[in-house]
Structure 1
């Protein structure tokens, strides 16, 4: 097995097709380009494509262009149905990417669907690793994301890790296909609860007269400490660069959290969890 040092030395020769350059995907693609990966990027937004070129990412006008003649395909899409379309459409990945292409899907989708996508990829000699991330927009910009990876083999995981290390700090092999999504859904179920509680607590404290920054500092070192308090505080001005301090612009959308919580309910129902 190649050492991590050797793997990193090879990173500049890898070609990546990046699909979905939104609030999370764009800085992820930018980090890959800045670390020597040759990145082609596709997004439905022409404005995003124009910005991509300025950041060293080659913009392309179709999924087909993005997935041909690359070693890796990274997807960052909102929903299971979006990933399914990108994989199975006539101009999509399965029809146009070469054998042995590694698909690194960072979307948060159904674990059941992720297993099916992995099986379909194996049949045509590709690798599909469900690799959802955590860390928010700030983590995406800073290259400090955590990735949770479901892979068919340790070899597939090690291959995916080459590109994931260009975008994140901690990469976990959770197990077989679908386990990365399982970890992410469990994380976001807990996160959703923490976000609500953190926002309610901050509002209550401020209305009762405590300085919100003082309250944040107290909560950060007390039993209520969590990521929503220390890194993504909901009070504007408490943390520089957070969505709250930018008029709540460019953060994780409420609609996507609703989607993730719905996925957690679907999974709970499927396994009989009460």
Structure 2
């Protein structure tokens, strides 16, 4: 299928590029922009037309998607003079897919509204593998009619879009989901340390966890990497620490008690401080094993992790 509907994608990182590539593969002309020349080359290889300037990348595009790392990048990209909000046409739709704070998102919403731009907060749940397979879930808030416009394109890289309201509801939802993921990673670390102390085989316990009442999609997804002691990052410990800072700020601002979030933030601080910041977030295993006096396990390949 080929369509004349042009789409812009700003931010072609580990998650942004596979999402944009799926849109291009579905037949939509995609205009891409990223500060990294390497990412732009990869985008060209995926059928995305790279642009040297932010302004040219959004020309004639009714839908503009953004995928960036944090608040600072979002505010710099959107609100700076000659930034994205200024470059976009009135009546277009800005779809922001990242995990950012409520406060930063609200500032973008105000600037977009002043320019007559519909703003969808649309953080996604999943990892680069899910992005490549088109099975991400999108939490969406903002004008419902804008989601109706964007849904056909979003269907190329998501399995579902959950519309949650007109304002910042999607930001709250994404932070709540990431809190559950962080705490689940901590629980898995403690459970596996207990099992090792009880002389249960590493792989046997992982199989049991995956097949038990707590065998969530996350547990199942992490079972094989943990069997292999493979901590290659799909979402790093440092990134999880950043998200936990957002969660704590959001919760404290709204008077919500989140002791588990605070505890996990300290656990990730420990991981970062001991050289595991770029490991996958499931490296909480290292933290609980170290606290429990357990040695590293040798993987099937002979590596110790």
Q: TM-score category by the smaller chain?
A: 0.7 to 0.9
Is 1:222 the counterpart of 2:212? The answer is yes
Following superposition of structure 1 onto structure 2, how do residues 67-216 of structure 1 map, counting pairs within 5 Å? 67-151=58-142, 153-202=143-192, 204-205=194-195, 209-216=199-206
For 2:167 and 2:106, locate their aligned partners in 1 and report how far apart those are by CA, in whole Å.
5
The alpha carbon displacement at 1:174 in A equals 0.9
In structure 2, relative to structure 1, the CA distance for the partners of 1:232 and 1:69 (3 Å cut) is farther
In structure 2, relative to structure 1, the CA distance for the partners of 1:73 and 1:232 (3 Å cut) is farther
SS in 2 for 1:91: coil
The alpha carbon displacement at 1:135 in A equals 1.4
Contact 2:21–2:46 (8 Å) recurs in 1: yes
SS in 1 for 2:113: helix
Number of the residue aligned with 1:18: 9
SS in 2 for 1:197: helix
In structure 2, relative to structure 1, the CA distance for the partners of 1:233 and 1:25 (3 Å cut) is farther
Contact 1:147–1:172 (8 Å) recurs in 2: yes
The alpha carbon displacement at 1:198 in A equals 1.9
Q: 1:155-195 CA deviation, whole Å, 9 max, x = no partner?
A: 12212323221210011001122111110000001111111
In structure 2, relative to structure 1, the CA distance for the partners of 1:13 and 1:205 (3 Å cut) is farther
For 1:78 and 1:190, locate their aligned partners in 2 and report how far apart those are by CA, in whole Å.
20
Q: 1:215-247 CA deviation, whole Å, 9 max, x = no partner?
A: 333212313222331113374456xxxxx65x5
Contact 2:20–2:30 (8 Å) recurs in 1: yes
Number of the residue aligned with 2:241: 258
* More moved, 202-211 vs 79-88: 202-211
Q: Which runs of 5+ in 2 are unaligned?
A: 258-305
The alpha carbon displacement at 1:207 in A equals 6.5
The alpha carbon displacement at 1:126 in A equals 0.8
For 1:87 and 1:48, locate their aligned partners in 2 and report how far apart those are by CA, in whole Å.
20
Q: Which runs of 5+ in 1 are unaligned?
A: 1-8, 239-243
Q: CA RMSD in A?
A: 2.1
Q: May I ask how many residue pairs the two structures share in their alignment?
A: 257
Contact 1:30–1:57 (8 Å) recurs in 2: yes
Q: 1:2-38 CA deviation, whole Å, 9 max, x = no partner?
A: xxxxxxx8x8232111111111111111111101111
TM-score scaled by length of structure 1: 0.86
For 2:113 and 2:138, locate their aligned partners in 1 and report how far apart those are by CA, in whole Å.
22
The alpha carbon displacement at 1:205 in A equals 3.6
TM-score scaled by length of structure 2: 0.78
SS in 2 for 1:40: strand
Over alpha carbons, which structure has the higher Rg? 2
Number of the residue aligned with 2:18: 27
Q: 1:127-160 CA deviation, whole Å, 9 max, x = no partner?
A: 1111000011221111100000011x32122123
Number of the residue aligned with 2:285: none
